[in-house]
Structure 1
Amino acid sequence: MSGGVDSAVAAARAVEAGHDVVGVHLALSRMPGTLRTGSRGCCTIEDAMDARRVANLLGIPFYVWDFSERFAADVVDDFVAEYEAGRTPNPCLRCNEKIKFAALLDKAIALGFDAVATGHYATLVDGPGGRELHRASAWAKDQSYVLGVLTAEQLAHCYFPLGDTPSKELIRAEAEERGIQIARKPDSHDICFIPDGDTRGWLNEKLERAPGDIVDESGAVVGRHDGARGYTIGQRRGLAIGHPAPDGKPRYVLSIRPVSNQVVVGPKDRLAIGRIAGGRFSLTGDPGLDLAEPFDCEVQIRAHADPVPATARLARIDEARRTEQHRAEATHEIVADIDLEHAEPLLGVAPGQSAVLYIGSRVLGQFTIDRALPVDDGRTASA
């Protein structure tokens, strides 16, 4: 119970369904902010108090479990390390993977509970190969992307009571009918441990900034930067390049090389990605197909991005294609070619992002992007 309206209604529905329910609020920081600022952040003392009031209204036991040490190591430290290595992580997926459906679920199972219920908008379906994770009925609120890291074993102990609700407004209306005082509480957004939303400023306090070269794709130096970690893929402004490109067109950040401390820039059309590949992949269950053979699917690279048609396969890593961001321990990777006849190329793809694979509404699994090849390179590589 985060202290928000979604988990409040999820708990109420679980009680109404006849389950033996216990409310748990996760303390993820040893020094949480006392009060929220609008919709910024979550997991504050105020949120814990809101969750307790809902539990009292529902007549269920309520506990605060301190997972702050685990959260700091598995989510916050991982977030910093990924940026230090030139990657762009998604801490919400990591939190679901390491905290809510690992540490929390493990403790719940050890205490004799059958499942962890949350306010996520996603649907569970019992399929021929076992339990399957699917999109929520309301695609505008669908949160299956951030659940793409879950395994079949974890899904067997999950419960998402809100998955069939077609809109958030219906959830708020239901909360009001149930007398839940936080029915109109704003949704939280931004990264919970950076509540002011200034990710760059927060990282500047954690990581040293080392000046280096801005280069084009040929390696020619075209400018200087004051710290490569301050740049993002697709950035145009603030590059401080001393002279224009030969064609006179603007240049954009294409990649960041942490080992050589270089920022690579080039024309906008080089941001159009035709192939992505990466490791650290996981499946939500039996896919019912041979992953080594090309299969049709859809790929989503951000929580609120549109999925795009693709052809994916599991392949051994091509050593010649390794990059500075590539995970050295990986031996296999998922490779996905974007179907450019039916979708626009992916834009602004950065190593470290999570790509979630779908077949229809079903979540097949996910992988961490290590390589993103421009359209021309991607088509050439797949020929």
Structure 2
Amino acid sequence: MDADFQLDRPLKDSRIVVAMSGGVDSSVVAALAQRSGAEVIGVTLQLYDHGAAVGRTGSCCAGQDIRDARAVADRLGIAHYVFDYETAFRDSVIQGFADEYAAGRTPIPCVRCNQGVKFTDLFGIARDLGADCLATGHYVRRMIGAEGTELHRAADPARDQSYFLFATTQAQLDYLRFPLGGLPKPRVREIAAEIGLGVAAKPDSQDICFVPDGDYAKIVRKLRPEAGEPGDIVDLEGRVLGRHRGLIHFTIGQRRGIEIGGSPEPLYVVRVEPEARRLVVGPKRALAVGAARLSDVNWIGGAYKGPVTAKVRSLAKPVPARFEGDIVIFDMPEYGVAPGQAAVLYAGDRLLGGGWIEETMSAALAA
């Protein structure tokens, strides 16, 4: 169960900080680091009010999770520190999530969290503690290429988390380590059980940790009440077809919840117009996108020239595309491409980078 932490000096002379969320993945990373012979310090960020978080399941960095992380650290005999980042998380992630939905966009809070408290702030904590690296439980592979450190998809495609790490900077990647990238999840649980960690069978956290019941609308309505107001459902020509119960219940490409009778074909959300509180719907062919303009493009691992594939949703398959300036152009029409989501670019298994989708062009216009 040894892991290669890719350090420049002997592990016995090194210090590794492990980001411990209280789940099985980060707990096994801590165990692998401890087994390496390095000095190990576990760090947990408290992202919720401790009292409100007690007993919650399907989350991370909450009350029970902090206790689980502490128990694992005690079992391994390593130091463990908890830092209160509740205010920073609320301001940078939860408020931004609500703002994006209110603006008719489809946010990815997990990326914002990685960009902020999980990497930027945790990176600073690890540096202050004198660590040689910061190790996390993400399922991605860090590799050394001809032009520097690269990020590659995990060996287990079912667990790959590279889509959520497209905004990782080169400086962060040079300092980060991902020991689980080459392991399947069942093996990780086996390692936890072999060591006797109490979290070996703990369920995985859900994608959006601060929405424990999956009701995104409730979170947005609480912070941005105007986003829950009803409005018109119109067709592509602007004709009113019916009423919706709030734009926060809909995202581009969605079919569920559009209760319009008499249509000769299924209707999908084509566009969200928050200023007019309008939901524009149309047939599936109206969702065909030929290109998308990106903002805040991030590139990892040096220059690259050649064919790419693009992934526009976390669960989508990468599709052939080309990247010109800040525009990603799909070889074939892509469906369900939503502003606020990310377009992430790959060359084979290598993550090249990506950016935030600002606007899309129909397949006809992009041809």
TM-score relative to the length of structure 2? 0.89
Q: Secondary structure of 1:72's partner?
A: helix
Answer yes or no: is 1:249 the counterpart of 2:249: no
Runs of 5+ consecutive residues of structure 2 not aligned to the other structure: 1-19
Picking from 165, 171, 181, the partner of 2:188 is: 171
By how many angstroms is 1:236 displaced? 2.7
Q: Separation in 2 of the partners of 1:228 and 1:192?
A: 22
Residue number among 265, 279, 294 corresponding to 1:278 in the alignment: 294
Quick check: 1:213–1:262 contact (8 Å CA) kept in 2?
Answer: yes
Is this contact kept in 2: 1:244–1:250, CA < 8 A? no
Deviation of the 1:30 alpha carbon: 2.4
Instruction: Tell me how far 1:55 sits from its aligned partner.
Output: 0.6
Once the 2 structures are TM-superposed, how far is the Cα of residue 240 of structure 1 from its aligned partner? 4.1
Give the Cα–Cα distance (whole angstroms) in 2 for the partners of residues 280 and 244 of structure 1.
43
> Structure 1 residues 288 and 240 mapped into 2: Cα distance closer, same or farther (>3 Å)?
closer
- Using the TM superposition, name which of 42-51 and 151-160 deviates more: 42-51
Q: CA deviation at 1:278?
A: 1.8
RMSD: 1.7
SS of the residue 2:276 aligns to: coil
Matched, 1:313 2:305: no
Distance 1:237 1:186 in 2: 28
Separation in structure 1 between the aligned mates of residue 203 and residue 316 of structure 2, nearest angstrom: 22
1:146 corresponds to which of 157, 164, 171: 164
Instruction: Report the number of matched residues.
Output: 345
- The residue correspondences of 1:283-298 to structure 2 (distance < 5 A) are 283-289=299-305, 295-298=306-309
Mapped pair 1:130 → 2:148: yes
Q: Which residue of 1 aligns with 2:340?
A: 352
Aligned mates of 1:7, 1:240 — CA distance in 2: 44
| Contact 1:190 1:197 (8 Å CA) reproduced | no
Q: Which amino acid aligns with 2:121?
A: A
1:4-83 equivalence runs, <5 A: 4-31=23-50, 32-37=52-57, 40-83=58-101
- Once residues 74 and 151 of structure 1 are traced to their aligned partners in structure 2, the CA distance between those partners, rounded to angstroms, is 18
User: Match for residue 181 of structure 1?
Assistant: 198
Question: Is the 1:215–1:221 Cα contact (8 Å) retained in structure 2?
Answer: yes
CA distance in 2, matches of 1:174, 1:361: 26
Which residue of 1 is the match for residue 232 of structure 2?
213
Matched residue SS, 1:94:
helix
- SS of the equivalent of 2:355 reads strand
Aligned to 1:320: none
Partner of 1:331: none
Structure 1 residues 301 and 19: alpha-carbon distance in aligned structure 2, compared to 1, 3 A threshold: farther
Q: Aligned pair 1:301/2:312, yes or no?
A: yes
CA shift for structure 1 position 107: 2.1
AA of the residue aligned to 1:266: G
Structure 1 alignment gaps of length 5 or more = 290-294, 315-333
Q: Is the contact made by 1:27 and 1:67 (CA closer than 8 Å) also made in structure 2?
A: yes
**Residues 322-337 of structure 1: pairs in structure 2 closer than 5 A:** 334-337=326-329
Letter in 2 for 1:138: D
Answer yes or no: is the 8 Å Cα contact 1:2–1:25 preserved in 2: yes
Aligned-residue offset at 1:302: 2.3
SS of aligned partner of 1:238? coil
Structure 1 stretch displaced more, 256-265 or 90-99: 256-265
What TM-score do the two structures reach when normalised by structure 1? 0.85
Q: Is the 1:270–1:375 contact (alpha carbons within 8 Å) kept by the matching residues of 2?
A: no
Is 1:216–1:266's contact at 8 Å kept on the other side of the alignment?
yes
- Residue in structure 2 matched with residue 361 of structure 1 by the alignment: 349
The one-letter code of the counterpart of 1:368 is W
* Matching of residue 223 in structure 1 with residue 242 in structure 2: yes
2:56–2:62 CA contact under 8 A, matched in 1: yes
1:210–1:181 distance in 2 versus 1, CA, 3 Å: closer
| TM superposition shift of 1:170 | 0.6
Deviations 1:36-81 (A, max 9, x none): 33xx222221111111111111110011111111111111111111
Q: Which residue of 1 aligns with 2:11?
A: none
Which residue pairs with 1:375 in the alignment?
363
**1:270: how far off?**
1.4
Over the matched positions of the two proteins, sequence identity in percent amounts to 45
- Counterpart for residue 10 of structure 2: none
Letter in 1 for 2:176: C
Question: What SS is found at the alignment partner of 1:156?
Answer: helix
Whole-angstrom CA distance in 2 between matches of 1:238 and 1:301? 23
Distance 1:136 1:237 in 2: 32
Deviations 1:204-258 (A, max 9, x none): 22222333322222233333333222222223343344x645xx22322101012
CA distance in 2, matches of 1:197, 1:288: 39
Q: Describe the SS at the equivalent of 1:22.
A: strand
